[in-house]
Structure 1
């Protein structure tokens, strides 16, 4: 009799095992498991069962996937409806709570030694090496290690030292704008132009050399194109993990020219251009070369506090991608939104230029410190940030070591109190928070004057409700850089460029939030922001 050790089912045995009946059984078990999980999610046994919200959203992640994956980035609109119905605290998925009360931001996004991890679900949208950046790091302690050597480079004091370099690039940008019409008669997209400017600023500071977008004849190509190719994968990667794991294959396919030009540009940027710039910076650091201008990554290679295991080319490429994305688009889009409202509302431009003239400021000698003391330009910039949102997506946090308690009021219900247990995701989003009508009445309208009182004093209480740069220990690293660029650029444009520009077939719909791909997106049929 043959030994059982010699038994080999071969292909026939495998086919017998994988037959229709067994496949149906496995599918049935999977469906049963999903049903049981969904029932548990809405049962009193679940730790979040006491949080109000739609039962379907609490049952399954498919509810969120429908709005973000199928309808493409439109869950933010559904969140607004939820808050209108259920109040400031809503359960929006089996494992996540959303808050629309600015007074609770500093509890969710705590600073100091209070630990806050990032949600794994939110980070599933990222692939390596971007997932190895500080922005893509889940654990609180690892994030602190990665952020520490970068933080000093983006402090307010450091930005004041960098201001002359920003001013120099800004003057170059304005010169290009003034000469562009002579070389290219007709309308152009100011969003693309702003992208070239902000990209050159952040790349020069990060790597010691600008990408050179302001040196080309037109405004394309620019960083915005590969970045948006990357962002278009957000919800596919988040809800279809297999596609995320196949991204490496996509790299090979794209570089062989088998995908669209934007995807090829993205892959070339991630795999070739950024690593080459990082490699050159490492070589200069090892050779002891001292550059004329400070470079963030030069210092990071020389950092004594960052472990050597963190100083790899792929990881720094991901960090570089994160810096470029944040430093290019959030500032560039804020400038685009501000430009539209300044040019479409003559009273705004008139009041802005009058304030600058009264202050005796000259476009060639502007200073950030002087400009931020002026109430109206401060209102224009802050209102532009409110309606451009920064990162519009939810960025939930997890408090691993403490429970939180929310106390507030709900219309028609009076005072409420919710216990928020540790270990569960909770967050806010600027696309929802910035349209809280109790905080920002007539929230869809651009009103710079909402940010200061009748005496011209800034409303510090309202500024605490701005969520464009997030909050807490993971607050946007480049906030001071963004403010410096915004003040200098808006003032310079108002004095030198805006009076020469006219909107061309551009409406408010071309700058208005329609859906979310981490950053705010306009309607798909928008032709862009054309000017002449």
Structure 2
């Protein structure tokens, strides 16, 4: 009897679901508040197109956006809900410092860190969390910590000269820079020193796990239930379902352990003689109790540490390749560095966070040309698309001289000319600009000048493909078969 009822009801359920999805597609295509925006009808009808390019095509959605812009224009609809803009002049509007924009809610779990400041949706809560962190990442605070950055860079150079000089042994700079940046950010934030720079071949499981965390971003973003399933599963099941996530969870558990140690002991013990560590200070602050739980601070610390390692490591690696690949530029740099400890460096040769950064204006429409983006409609831009626009002439060439000219450029014919710096946004802008910008600059200044003043390196079987932008997983990555920026010490 039960089976016969089910057989009788099933066709009606199937028909109801079909009619619902047909009605949903019709609404999205013709009656949605953003139905009039240009773009592919397929992407307007379903978010599965984004999932296809992100997950199944391996981090290709950002590059597909660029193709759609070429086809449909500077403002397009990229899924049923979101508008994307490719216009360098619009960046100051999309990421205005005075605008109380919120984050797109469904991006909160993109890294599985809902308590982290970069995952915080509400403007006021984000502002409160940032106000606690900001003083630790000011220019003055980072300047006071520069002694440790220099010390760790000297340790890296000493080891390269002592163990690798004239040995013919290959060093992968991606790993070396990863070890340095991990040592710096972990010591600064938590007061612990793992001495990753001393690991064999500079390969530390902790730093390798950060890359796995980045590679998980699209699966976590499109299938948050899967990440939650893995987080609640035993190790053996994680190894079976997604082996790449095991080091990520090990990394998060290590962060949790360190936060617990700081929380349960005297906070001041986890501040060095020269600086008070970030999370010891947070635990001593007057933040509400719920903001100082181990779970919340675990998310915060994981987010800060992971973002600082992967972005800075990649930029340092790409810059190293370009410097070594262009002997004339290397010679010029060495002459300048001999005349001064280091001169103002050229701009980074990387894009920072390449993934688009959606924002939501809750109460006010955002105007772009003749288009009005309705309130509560996510809109976004991409650092990668910004820096590969026509504003940056011959954008894929390493041309430091572009920053030495005072000439101004216009983003389009007839528009106001601006300094090229105005379009340079690897750290984003607005209320959610990159927290670690000053720390990243310090590592670029000190790291590159120390390495190339002291150590004579030569590229080993490394072609430009090793720094190409073939995939987007939070940052841009080269094809998976590349082996990194490899060098020998002469």
Quick one: which of 254, 277, 283 aligns to 1:295?
Answer: 277
Aligned twin of 2:402: 450
Aligned twin of 1:518: 474
Q: Give unmatched runs, 5+ long, in structure 1.
A: 1-11, 408-416
Aligned twin of 2:333: 352
| 8 Å contact from structure 2 (residues 267, 281) kept in 1 | no
Aligned twin of 1:89: 75
Larger radius of gyration: 1
Matched, 1:320 2:301: yes
In structure 1, C-alpha distance between the alignment counterparts of 2:348 and 2:196, rounded to whole Å = 28
Residues 24 and 336 of structure 1, relative CA distance in 2, 3 Å threshold: farther
In structure 2, C-alpha distance between the alignment counterparts of 1:289 and 1:466, rounded to whole Å = 37
In structure 2, C-alpha distance between the alignment counterparts of 1:221 and 1:528, rounded to whole Å = 16
Aligned twin of 2:60: 74
* Mapping 1:472-511, distance limit 5 Å: 472-497=430-455, 500-511=456-467
* Mapping 1:157-196, distance limit 5 Å: 157-181=140-164, 185-196=168-179
In structure 2, C-alpha distance between the alignment counterparts of 1:463 and 1:339, rounded to whole Å = 22
Quick one: which of 299, 312, 316 aligns to 1:331?
Answer: 312
| 8 Å contact from structure 2 (residues 54, 218) kept in 1 | yes
In structure 1, C-alpha distance between the alignment counterparts of 2:181 and 2:140, rounded to whole Å = 20
Q: How much has 1:355 moved relative to structure 2?
A: 2.3
Q: How much has 1:177 moved relative to structure 2?
A: 2.1
Q: How much has 1:290 moved relative to structure 2?
A: 5.7
* Mapping 1:47-62, distance limit 5 Å: 47-62=33-48
Please give the per-residue CA displacement for 1:344-371, whole angstroms capped at 9, x wherever unaligned. Answer: 11121122222223xx224xxx5xxxx3
Residues 485 and 286 of structure 1, relative CA distance in 2, 3 Å threshold: closer
Aligned twin of 1:279: 260
In structure 1, C-alpha distance between the alignment counterparts of 2:88 and 2:266, rounded to whole Å = 44
Please give the per-residue CA displacement for 1:294-317, whole angstroms capped at 9, x wherever unaligned. Answer: 20000000112x111110111111
In structure 2, C-alpha distance between the alignment counterparts of 1:288 and 1:240, rounded to whole Å = 41
Aligned twin of 2:410: none
Q: Give unmatched runs, 5+ long, in structure 2.
A: 408-416
| 8 Å contact from structure 1 (residues 152, 158) kept in 2 | yes
Aligned residues: 479
Q: How much has 1:151 moved relative to structure 2?
A: 0.6
Secondary structure at the counterpart of residue 505 of structure 1: coil
In structure 1, C-alpha distance between the alignment counterparts of 2:110 and 2:251, rounded to whole Å = 19
* Mapping 1:221-240, distance limit 5 Å: 221-240=204-223
Residues 290 and 469 of structure 1, relative CA distance in 2, 3 Å threshold: closer
Matched, 1:390 2:352: yes
Residues 283 and 46 of structure 1, relative CA distance in 2, 3 Å threshold: same
Aligned twin of 1:30: 17
In structure 2, C-alpha distance between the alignment counterparts of 1:196 and 1:333, rounded to whole Å = 12
Aligned twin of 1:247: 230
TM-score (norm 2): 0.92
TM-score (norm 1): 0.85
In structure 2, C-alpha distance between the alignment counterparts of 1:440 and 1:287, rounded to whole Å = 47
| 8 Å contact from structure 2 (residues 268, 276) kept in 1 | no
Secondary structure at the counterpart of residue 150 of structure 2: helix
Residues 193 and 406 of structure 1, relative CA distance in 2, 3 Å threshold: same
* Mapping 1:139-158, distance limit 5 Å: 139-158=122-141
Residues 183 and 275 of structure 1, relative CA distance in 2, 3 Å threshold: farther
Q: How much has 1:259 moved relative to structure 2?
A: 6.6
| 8 Å contact from structure 2 (residues 37, 76) kept in 1 | yes
Residues 57 and 233 of structure 1, relative CA distance in 2, 3 Å threshold: same
In structure 1, C-alpha distance between the alignment counterparts of 2:315 and 2:200, rounded to whole Å = 24
The alignment yields a C-alpha RMSD, in angstroms, of 2.3
Q: How much has 1:286 moved relative to structure 2?
A: 5.3
